[in-house]
Chain A
Amino acid sequence: MTTADTAKIELFDAMTSVKKDRVLAAVKDARSVMKPTEIIDALAVGMQEVGTRFERGKLFLPHVISAADAMNAAVAVLDKDLPRDGAGKQLPSVVIGTIEGDVHDIGKTIVSTMLQCAGYDVHDLGRDVPSRTFLDTVKEHDARLVGMSALMTTTMRNQMEVIGLLKEEGLRPKVKVMVGGAPATQAWADKIGADGYGENASIAVRKANELLQVGEVTQ
């Protein structure tokens, strides 16, 4: 007989198997013993584990995408039973891109994907993004976080420009800023007044959660 504990384990295992059918089957079984929000939370823990395994080379990007697809399918199934506020609410909008003059985007793409998997409404601007485009997109989507990647010491200076524009528009108090990319460090983030620095994708997601006060889900 399914209990909440066994259901939780199967939800975790199903998510880390990255198979949509298995995830949907686990969700169906779990519904009799868990609340929809608890099911989502359990799946989110599995999703975090998928991210960790990706960082450690045990899973690859298609697996992460498959897991995200499975997560979306699970949320769609549970949607009508989710409360209209609280834990069922969509996470905030985030804007992410590689800074102007820089065309490197592999790391940024991974972070963008992981944020999407974590439930954020991600607006990925791509690469070589002018500073003003970051600002305009933040305003358009009422984003709460902007993430900027730079892979060169010359282009990373544009990250300061975006922070300056946010201040000029009076948006800085409500928009968190994260920076990343090979030459970026915590010291750089502190120097330019960014709120956070993500050394890798998993850390970036955790930092985003902290900054936006999205609760840490534990098993």
Chain B
Amino acid sequence: MTTEYKLRRGDGKRIVMTRAQIMEDLRAGTADAAELGSIPQLTEDELDKLADILTAPGRMVGVEEGMEVPVTHDIGTIRLDGDQGNSGVGIPASRLVGMMFHERALGADTMELGHIDYSFKPVKPIIAQEMQAMEVCQQNMIVPLLYGAMPNMGLYYTPDGPCENPGDLMKAFKIKEAQDSTMKAAEHLTRDMVWIMQRMMRSGADGVNFDTTAAAGDGDFYATLKAVKTLRQEFPEMFIEVGMAGELVLGMHGEVEYDGKLLAGLWPHEQVEMVAKAGASIFGPVVNTSTSRSSPWNLARAVTFVKAAVKASPIPCHVNMGMGVGGIPMFETPTIDAVSRASKAMVEVAGVDGI
């Protein structure tokens, strides 16, 4: 009788698969990534290694001794004191308590200060609060402390922002007007992100984490690259982390370029080139999980993309591995068995510099 292994589907549901089925899905996952990104598939040895990781008997696995990497964080302390769709557990703790908790109780290698809305645009009116919080936290922390937020360029479109919604303009076949509106929004976004981080650096931040970059497509990516470049020029020592929103930069504008390169349609190994060129210190590739596919398929696909990015990158890569990304199931409380396996796979097969 063939041994069956308990694994997970992309939505976290338990499934059982034989080793042969696991290998088949691993091969399909890596092939999908390779075809999309025009990158090499994982080797048969690497697929075997992934299969070994996935079929390990324990609930958790661990990287081989000596292969440990730093774990950087996003969403700040929201995971403790928040509960608005960001996986927070709703403990009413101050952000200082949350910071120190991460540093001292959870073993975080770096930490991030963020506010409850976690986008850059809403920070402007509360900048004094954020600056004070950073100063107080830095007095008590030892690990590097970044200020983190999402570019979230969608907030600059009507009804929340000054620029007409390009999606509405596109649907009315006003392509040129939509593209102009996108670039106007990008201008506002770059200005705001630079303004905010200039003040956070004055308050002693070690740097910035741009989280879910390019969530609103190529215009959003362009705005962030420009902000990175401006900040790097003003603050040569600043820690700048750019974490993406997906494996593909969506062409919502379709024609925006940075440094002569079209941003739409870029995959992680191409995104990192732009991010490094702009002056970032760390790149965070993202690969989204397909909820209807198995964890072998998702993991092989994610590892293939990330491995190519790591190889192409001139800067350290800290793969994003949160809910629904990096081979982890899309579920509010991602299962420990799946997270552990994905974590080990990214370190030992993709060769990441951090998580």
Contacts and interface: CB of A to CB of B under 8 A. Distances in A.
Do A and B have CB atoms closer than 8 angstroms in the complex? yes
Interface string B237-261: 0000000000011111111000000
Bin chain B's interface residue count: 35 or more
Contact of B332 (A63, A112, A153): A153
A199 B291 contact: yes
Contacts of B330: 182-183, 185
Contacts, number: 106
Contacts of A56: 36, 248
Given A60-B264, A106-B250, A154-B84, A65 B11 contact: no
A113 B218 CA distance: 18
A61 B265 contact: no
Nearest to B216: A106
A69 B175 CA distance: 11
A59 to B, nearest CB: 7
B298 to A, nearest CB: 12
A155 interface: yes
B68 interface: no
Interface in A46-86: 54, 56-63, 65-66, 68-69
Nearest to A187: B11
A109 B167 contact: yes
Contacts of B85: 151-155, 183
Contacts of A109: 167, 170-171
A116 interface: yes
Bin chain A's interface residue count: 35 or more
B11 A185 contact: yes
A103 interface: yes
Interface in A174-206: 182-183, 185-187, 199
Contact of B175 (A65, A104, A106, A124): A65
Contact of B154 (A103, A182, A187): A103
Contacts of B284: none
A57 B264 CA distance: 7
B83 interface: yes
B216 to A, nearest CB: 5
Contacts of B87: 153
A155 B86 CA distance: 11
A105 interface: yes
Interface string B74-91: 000000000111110000
B251 A62 contact: yes
Nearest to B293: A199
B265 A57 contact: yes
Contacts of A183: 85, 323-324, 330, 332
Nearest to B32: A56
A62 B36 contact: no
Given A153-B85, A155-B85, A185-B330, A61 B292 contact: no
Nearest to B245: A106
B144 to A, nearest CB: 29
List of 3 A-B pairs having minimum Cβ-Cβ separation, nearest first: A60-B251, A152-B85, A109-B167
